Amino acid sequence: MKLMTPWWVTPCSVTPGQDANPRHWLTATPLTSGLASDGSGNDASMKSALWKSLRFGVAQCRAGEGRLAMGRRRRRFMIWEWLAVLSAGDGSCLYCFSRSQTMDHVIPFSDGGADELKNLLPICRPCNRTKGKKNPVVWHVAMDLCLRWSGTGSLLDGAALGDKSLRELYLLTHQQVLEALDELEEVQAEVNDPGRTAWFRRNFEAYGYPSARFGVPRARAQFDKRIREGRAKGYPTAEEELPELLKQLGIGS
C-alpha cells in the first residue's frame, strides 16, 4: 500500500534558488517507514508512520523558524504607526477590551509574521504577555480546552460547561474562534484602510520615532482628541481638510 505524503513533512520555507516543487523533499521521510508498498501494511503501522511523519514535520518547522528568525530584524515603528494601531477598534485591547497599550503581531514575528501594519492589532500588555508567540487561534483553543474542566474530565464528559465531552467542547471552541476571527478581521481592515493610514501619516509623521522625551503614551494622550475628531469626520483627505486649515490661519474668506 502506498500513501501520498501529507503536507506536514515538507519544509516550512524555500531558500533562494531551491526548487519550489516539494517532490524532491519527499524521497526519504519517516512516512515510508513501517509501510509496505505491496499492500501488506496494516492500520497500526500506518498510524505509527503518520505520527513519525508529523514529528518530523514539526522538527523541520522549528528548524525553519530558527533560520528565519536569524535572518530577520524587527523594525522601529514611527509615532504615527503606533497611533494608527492603538486607536483602532475604539482603542481597546481586542482580547479583553481594556485600554490598548501596545501592538500585537497577530501572526508572531518568530513564525514568519509580517512586521507591518497589516499584521498589527491593539492589545494590552497582560494579554500580550499571555499570548506570547502564538497566533490567536492557537492561543484561544489552548486556553479554552485547558481551562474548562471541573476535576472529573475525561474524553467523553466532565467539562465544566454542561458536562460536555472533549469533542463537544472542541466544536464549541471552534465556533467561538470563528466569531473572534470576524472581530479581528474587522479591526485589521480598519488598520489597513488606505485613507485612514494616509490621514495618520499626514498628521503625525513629523513627530518621528518614539523617544524618552516624547514616547507613545504621551503622544497618545496629546493627540487623543484630534484622533477622535478625525474619526468622526471619516479621516478626511488633505483636500477636504484644506478649507478648515486656511480658515484657522485666517487665509481666504
Domain map of the chain by residue range?
A: 7-70, 79-236
**Does the structure show a pLDDT above 80 at 70?**
no
| Confidence at residue 59, expressed as pLDDT on a 0 to 100 scale | 60
As given in the structure block, the three cell numbers for residue 162 are 454542561
Reported as type and span, the H/E element at residue 123 is strand 120-123
3-state SS, residue 184: helix
User: What's the pLDDT score for residue 69?
Assistant: 53
Residue 80: band (very low, low, confident or very high) from pLDDT cuts 50, 70, 90 = very high
**Cα–Cα nearest to 30, from 14, 44, 1, 10:** 10
Q: What is the pLDDT of residues 156-215, one digit of tens each?
A: 777 666 777 778 888 888 888 999 999 999 999 999 999 999 999 999 999 999 999 999
Which amino acid is present at 140? H
The DSSP output letter for 159 is B
C-beta of residue 153 within 8 angstroms of C-beta of residue 144? no
Mean pLDDT of 133-148: 82
C-alpha 151/C-alpha 153 separation (Å) is: 6
Cell (9 digits) for 9 = 513533512
Q: Which stretch, 91-100, 144-153, 235-244, has highest mean pLDDT?
A: 91-100
C-alpha dihedral over 151, 156, 162, 167, to 10 degrees? 120
Residue 15 has pLDDT above 90, yes or no: no
Please tell me the predicted confidence (pLDDT) of residue 206.
96
